[in-house]
């Protein structure tokens, strides 16, 4: 009987989510990030058994610079060669940043300490086409000081029932937020002020960051009070308005292990 071997890798993946229906493979949509990655892995594996598991199921239109994958291959490939080989076959808007060997017991989901997301937005009323698909233009002036107060409230353990879309078996809807702030971007040199929500948490529910960004905007224009926001986080019930921010401003930045 032929002996089989498995070689386990941890990959850091980046992608622009604009043209994809999210990370996860779907029967009705072939254009997902997972489909493209698995096709390349299948070629590299010479169509033998392989496996790809992602740490985060980003939604349609969401971007990533720090998605983490556990990849199991039937043959050994040096990490640098794996990175170069995959990037030569992947689309230009999906690229591997780094590959490394990892132990077989590595659990890409349970072993993570926290995830960090950024949501990029501007309040400049004239949109700049150069970053239209990665930054959202909010159409009104915002009270950024009030938004930062709400960010401070978010730090800690809360009930996010009214800030997500729970799945069929969601388990607890409590999540712990480690850091949360509104920052001003300094890496774009265009003549536009870009801000972003920086949020780190031990885990996130579906659409949770987008609903939180929407709530922060509502607070920033006076449509949602800090009192109602705090009460919602305490008991999970909906107080005040609910706005879900568009996908295009959301970026998965880092997953720490």
Give the CATH number of the domain where residue 193 resides. Answer: 3.30.70.660
Between vectors from CA 118 to CA 181 and to CA 108, what angle results, nearest 5°?
Answer: 115
Comparing CA positions, the residue from 236, 163, 167, 158 lying closest to residue 202 is 158
Catalytic one of 59, 111, 133, 228? 59
Q: How is residue 166 written in tokens? A: 């729970």
Contact 221, 33 (CB under 8 A): no
Say how far apart CA 56 and CA 67 lie, in whole Å.
Answer: 7
To the nearest whole number, what is the mean pLDDT of the chain?
A: 93
Residues 162 and 96 occupy one common structural domain: no
Residues 133 and 244 occupy one common structural domain: yes
Return the pLDDT at 242: 87
Of 44, 68, 101, the domain-final residue: 101
Residue 128 clears pLDDT 90, i.e. is over it: no
Residue written as token pair 């077989």 = 104
Q: Residue 186's pLDDT band (boundaries 50, 70, 90)?
A: confident
Domain membership of residue 107 (yes or no) is no
Residue range 218-222: mean pLDDT, rounded: 97
Say how far apart CA 96 and CA 37 lie, in whole Å.
Answer: 10
Residue range 140-148: mean pLDDT, rounded: 96
Q: Out of 73-77, 103-107, 130-134, 150-154, which region has the weakest mean confidence (pLDDT)?
A: 130-134
Residues 224 and 151 occupy one common structural domain: yes
Residues 250 and 132 occupy one common structural domain: yes
Residues 85 and 29 occupy one common structural domain: yes
Return the pLDDT at 187: 65
Residues 88 and 36 occupy one common structural domain: yes
DSSP state of 135: S
Residue 68 clears pLDDT 60, i.e. is over it: yes
Residues 168 and 238 occupy one common structural domain: yes
Domain membership of residue 1 (yes or no) is no
Q: Residue 257's pLDDT band (boundaries 50, 70, 90)?
A: very high
pTM of the model: 0.92
Domain membership of residue 2 (yes or no) is no
Residue range 31-51: mean pLDDT, rounded: 95
For residue 227, give the H/E element and its range. Answer: helix 226-235
Contact 115, 203 (CB under 8 A): yes
DSSP state of 80: H
Per the structure, the complete domain to which residue 47 belongs is given by: 7-101
Residue 254 clears pLDDT 80, i.e. is over it: yes
Residues 141 and 236 occupy one common structural domain: yes
DSSP state of 127: -
Residue range 194-206: mean pLDDT, rounded: 96
Residue written as token pair 């996130």 = 204
Residues 54 and 132 occupy one common structural domain: no
Residues 155 and 37 occupy one common structural domain: no
Residue 94 clears pLDDT 50, i.e. is over it: yes
Q: How many residues are recorded in the chain?
A: 257
Residue written as token pair 């705090």 = 230
CATH of residue 83's domain is 3.30.70.580
Instruction: Kindly tell me the number of DSSP H helices and DSSP E strands found in the chain.
Output: 5, 10
Residue range 185-198: mean pLDDT, rounded: 78
Domain membership of residue 108 (yes or no) is no
Of 101, 133, 161, the domain-final residue: 101
Q: Residue 155's pLDDT band (boundaries 50, 70, 90)?
A: very high
228 catalytically annotated = no
> Of all residues in the chain, what percent carry a pLDDT higher than 90?
82
Residues 96 and 134 occupy one common structural domain: no
Return the pLDDT at 131: 76
Residues 149 and 232 occupy one common structural domain: yes
Report the DSSP pairing between strands 250-256 and 114-122: antiparallel
Say how far apart CA 8 and CA 25 lie, in whole Å.
Answer: 21
Of 47, 76, 101, the domain-final residue: 101
- Give the count of domains, the chain: 2
Q: How is residue 211 written in tokens? A: 């609903």
């Amino acid at each position: 009987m032929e002996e089989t071997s498995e070689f386990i890798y941890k990959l850091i993946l980046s992608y622009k989510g604009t043209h994809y229906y999210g990370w996860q493979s779907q029967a009705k949509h072939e254009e997902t990030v997972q489909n493209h990655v698995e096709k390349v892995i299948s070629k590299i594996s010479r169509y033998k058994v392989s496996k790809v598991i992602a740490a985060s199921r980003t939604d349609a239109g969401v971007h990533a610079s720090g998605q983490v994958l556990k990849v199991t291959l039937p043959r050994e490939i040096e990490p640098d060669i794996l990175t170069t080989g995959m990037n030569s076959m992947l689309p230009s808007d999906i690229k591997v940043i780094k590959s490394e060997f990892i132990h077989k017991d590595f659990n890409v989901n349970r072993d993570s300490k926290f995830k960090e997301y950024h949501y990029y937005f501007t309040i400049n009323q004239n949109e700049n086409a150069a970053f239209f698909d990665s930054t959202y233009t909010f159409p009104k002036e915002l009270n950024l000081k009030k938004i930062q107060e709400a960010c401070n409230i978010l730090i800690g353990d809360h009930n996010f029932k009214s800030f997500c879309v729970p799945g069929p078996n969601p388990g607890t809807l409590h999540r712990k937020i480690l850091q949360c702030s509104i920052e001003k971007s300094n890496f774009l040199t265009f003549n536009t002020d870009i801000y972003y929500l920086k949020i780190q948490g031990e885990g996130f529910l579906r659409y949770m960051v987008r609903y939180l960004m929407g709530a922060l905007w509502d607070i920033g224009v006076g449509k949602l009070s800090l009192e109602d926001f705090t009460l919602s986080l305490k008991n999970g019930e909906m107080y005040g308005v609910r706005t879900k921010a568009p996908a295009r401003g959301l970026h998965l930045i880092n997953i720490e292990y």
